[in-house]
C-alpha cells in the first residue's frame, strides 16, 4: 500500500493526478466583453416538425436556436407565427406596460414603499408572448419574474401593487412576499419563493386535467439555475412517464443571482438537452425574439392538447438588471454584458419589426411609452390610498389567525382574543 499511495493521499507516480474543476464565468467586473463565441443561428433556418412528432425528432432543436426575427427586422422561416398587426401591437403594448410597471415598482422600493422587488427587464417576451400563445384558462405555474403573464391576462395593475405594498387592499393579506402574486380567476398559481416547487405542481395539475378529460393544459416557468433542484427532475420524470399535457419553460438568463449558468450545468450542454434525456420534446428558443417565443409555445400547446405529451422549452435570454432590488450585479459581472448581448432587446426588436411592416413608427412608440407610464402611475396612486409598507398594520389583527382551518379551533380563538386585548392596551390609538 505504501508503494501506491503517499502519506498525503496523492495518487502514485504511475497514475496522473486528478484535477478538480470549478466553473468560471467568462467575464468579471471591469472585463471587456466578447460574445463572438456564442453560436447564434440564422433566423428561419430551423425546421418546424409536426406537433405530434416523436420526442427524439426534436433533439436537433434542443441544441440549435429557434429564431424568427432577423437583423433586417423581417420574420423568416417556418416558425413565423404570421400574427396580424393588431396582435403584434397588443404584444408590444403589453411588454412595454410590463417594463413601465417594473420601473415604477423599482422606484417604489427605493422610496421605502415596499421591501423587495424583482424586475424582468430584457425577459418580457418569455412571459408576455408565451401567455398570448396559451388559452386564457390554461393553468400557469410561474416563477417570480413572470409578472408579464398577469398583465397579459388583464389582471388589474392596482391589485398587483396592493400585493407588493402589502396594504389593506392586498387580497393575500400580507402573507406573501412582494411580487408573489396569486389569482385563481386568471388561472395563475401562487408564486413560491422555494425554487422549482412549481414544476412538479404543474405536472401534477396537468396529469389531473388529463385524468378528468379536461381540455386545459399547464405551463410552468423556472430559471436555469433551478433546473439543478431535484423537484425539476422529478417533474420531468413524471411528465414523460404519464405523458402530461404540460409545458416546462426554462428561462436561461445566464445568471442565478451571482452564480452564472455553468454552475447549473450550462457549460456541458444546453438546458433544452435535459428534456431529450427524459424523452420529452425539447426546443431551444431565442428568448428575446417575441415571435419565436410565441411560435414555440403555440407548438408545445398544440402538442399537449393533442395528447402528444410534454415539451421543454429553453428560452435563451439575458437578465439585463440585478436579480432583485437586494442585488448589485456590478460586483460579479462586467457592466458591458448588457450592451454587448448579441440578441438585443425584445421590445426594441418587436417595435422594429412593426416599423418594417409599415404598421408602427417611432412617434407612436414614444406615445405608447408615455401612455404606459401614466397608466402605471395612476394605478400606483390608487393603490397607495390603501397604504404602503411600514405605515402600520393594514389588515384586521384577527386575520393572522384565519384561513388555515375551516373553523378556527378554540385554542386559537383564545390566543386571538388575548393578542387583541394586549394590542389595545399597548396601542390604544391603533
* Whole-number Cα distances in Å, 143 to 149, 202, 253, 377: 11, 12, 13, 25
Question: For the chain, which residues make up each domain, given as ranges?
Answer: 55-384, 397-426
- The Cα 167–Cα 205 span in angstroms is 31
Q: What is the largest CA-CA distance in the chain?
A: 82
Segment 211-239 mean pLDDT: 98
Confidence tier at 427 by pLDDT (50, 70, 90): confident
Nearest to 220 by CA among 131, 141, 148: 141
- The Cα 310–Cα 241 span in angstroms is 10
Q: What's the distance, CA 248 to chain centroid?
A: 11
**pLDDT over 80 (residue 355):** yes
User: Helices (DSSP H) in 124-272: which residue ranges?
Assistant: 124-133, 147-152, 157-165, 198-212, 230-241
Gyration radius (Cα) of the chain, Å: 24
**pLDDT over 50 (residue 335):** yes
Helices and strands, number each (H, E), in the chain = 13, 7
Mean pLDDT (the chain, rounded): 95
**Contact present, 244 and 280 (Cβ < 8 Å):** no
- The Cα 336–Cα 183 span in angstroms is 38
Nearest to 322 by CA among 264, 252, 251, 258: 258
pLDDT of residue 11: 56
**pLDDT, tens digit, for every residue of 110-151?**
999 999 999 999 999 999 999 999 999 999 999 999 999 999
- The Cα 311–Cα 55 span in angstroms is 9
**pLDDT, tens digit, for every residue of 230-245?**
999 999 999 999 999 9
**Contact present, 314 and 236 (Cβ < 8 Å):** no
Tell me which of 77-86, 271-280, 389-398 is least confident. Answer: 389-398
CA angle 419, 424, 426 (to 5 degrees): 95
Look at residue 100 and give its three-state secondary structure: helix
Confidence tier at 95 by pLDDT (50, 70, 90): very high
Segment 5-27 mean pLDDT: 79
Taking each helix axis from N to C end, the angle separating 346-356 and 85-110, rounded to the nearest 10 degrees, works out to 150
Taking each helix axis from N to C end, the angle separating 362-384 and 157-165, rounded to the nearest 10 degrees, works out to 50
pLDDT of residue 1: 46
Nearest to 210 by CA among 99, 306, 127, 290: 306
Segment 300-307 mean pLDDT: 98
Confidence tier at 210 by pLDDT (50, 70, 90): very high
**pLDDT over 50 (residue 307):** yes
Tell me which of 39-43, 240-244, 366-370, 386-390 is least confident. Answer: 386-390
- The Cα 246–Cα 310 span in angstroms is 5
Segment 68-80 mean pLDDT: 98
pLDDT of residue 390: 78
Class of domain 55-384: alpha beta
DSSP state string for 176-202: S-TT---BGGGTBPPP-SSTTTHHHHH
How many Å from the N-terminal Cα to the C-terminal Cα in the chain?
77
Helix (H) or strand (E) run with residue 24 in it? none
**pLDDT over 50 (residue 25):** yes
Higher local confidence (pLDDT), 9 or 357: 357
CA angle 289, 132, 208 (to 5 degrees): 120
Strand order in the sheet with 246-252: 139-141, 218-223, 246-252, 311-316, 281-286
**pLDDT over 60 (residue 288):** yes
- The Cα 51–Cα 100 span in angstroms is 36
CA angle 286, 287, 291 (to 5 degrees): 75
Helix (H) or strand (E) run with residue 39 in it? none
pLDDT of residue 393: 64
Segment 411-430 mean pLDDT: 88
- The Cα 425–Cα 23 span in angstroms is 58
Helix (H) or strand (E) run with residue 251 in it? strand 246-252
Segment 297-315 mean pLDDT: 98
Look at residue 315 and give its three-state secondary structure: strand
- The Cα 378–Cα 133 span in angstroms is 29
Residues 6+ apart with CB under 8 A from 162: 169, 170, 171, 383, 386
Amino acid at each position: 500500500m505504501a508503494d501506491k499511495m503517499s502519506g498525503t493521499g496523492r495518487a502514485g507516480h504511475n497514475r496522473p493526478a486528478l484535477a478538480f474543476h470549478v466553473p468560471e464565468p467568462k467575464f468579471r467586473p471591469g472585463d471587456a466583453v466578447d460574445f463572438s463565441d456564442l453560436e447564434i443561428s440564422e433566423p428561419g433556418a430551423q425546421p418546424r416538425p409536426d406537433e405530434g412528432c416523436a420526442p427524439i425528432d426534436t433533439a436537433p432543436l434542443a441544441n440549435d436556436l429557434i429564431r424568427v426575427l432577423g437583423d433586417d427586422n423581417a420574420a423568416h422561416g417556418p416558425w413565423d407565427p404570421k400574427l396580424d398587426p393588431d396582435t403584434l401591437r397588443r404584444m408590444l403594448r403589453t411588454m412595454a406596460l410590463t417594463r413601465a410597471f417594473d420601473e415604477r415598482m423599482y422606484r417604489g422600493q427605493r422610496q421605502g414603499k415596499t421591501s423587495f422587488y424583482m424586475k424582468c427587464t430584457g425577459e418580457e417576451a418569455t412571459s408576455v408572448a408565451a401567455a398570448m400563445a396559451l388559452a386564457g384558462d390554461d393553468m400557469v405555474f410561474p416563477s417570480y419574474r413572470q409578472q408579464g403573464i398577469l398583465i397579459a391576462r388583464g389582471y388589474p395593475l392596482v391589485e398587483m401593487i396592493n400585493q407588493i405594498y402589502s396594504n389593506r387592499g392586498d387580497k393575500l393579506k400580507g402573507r406573501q412576499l412582494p411580487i408573489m402574486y396569486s389569482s385563481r380567476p386568471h388561472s395563475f398559481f401562487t408564486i413560491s419563493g422555494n425554487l422549482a416547487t412549481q414544476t412538479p405542481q404543474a405536472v401534477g395539475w396537468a396529469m389531473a386535467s388529463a385524468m378528468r378529460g379536461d381540455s386545459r393544459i399547464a405551463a410552468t416557468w423556472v430559471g436555469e439555475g433551478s433546473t439543478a433542484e431535484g423537484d425539476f427532475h422529478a417533474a420531468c420524470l413524471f411528465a414523460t412517464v404519464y405523458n402530461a399535457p404540460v409545458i416546462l419553460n426554462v428561462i436561461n438568463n445566464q445568471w442565478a443571482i451571482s452564480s452564472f449558468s455553468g454552475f447549473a450545468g450550462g457549460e456541458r450542454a444546453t438546458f433544452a438537452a435535459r428534456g431529450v434525456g427524459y424523452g420529452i420534446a425539447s426546443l431551444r428558443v431565442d428568448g428575446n425574439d417575441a415571435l419565436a417565443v410565441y411560435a414555440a409555445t403555440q407548438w408545445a400547446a398544440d402538442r399537449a392538447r393533442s395528447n402528444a405529451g410534454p415539451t421543454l422549452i429553453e428560452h435563451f435570454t439575458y437578465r439585463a438588471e440585478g436579480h432583485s432590488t437586494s442585488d448589485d450585479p456590478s460586483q460579479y459581472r462586467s457592466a458591458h454584458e448588457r450592451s454587448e448581448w448579441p440578441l438585443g432587446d425584445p421590445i426594441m426588436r418587436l417595435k422594429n419589426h412593426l416599423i418594417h411592416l409599415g404598421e408602427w413608427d417611432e412617434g407612436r412608440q414614444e406615445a405608447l411609452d408615455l401612455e404606459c407610464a401614466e397608466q402605471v402611475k395612476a394605478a400606483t396612486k390608487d393603490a397607495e390610498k390603501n397604504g404602503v409598507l411600514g405605515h402600520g398594520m393594514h389588515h384586521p389583527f384577527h386575520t393572522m389567525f384565519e384561513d388555515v382551518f375551516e373553523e378556527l379551533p378554540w385554542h386559537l380563538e383564545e390566543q386571538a382574543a388575548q393578542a387583541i386585548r394586549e394590542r389595545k392596551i399597548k396601542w390604544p390609538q391603533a
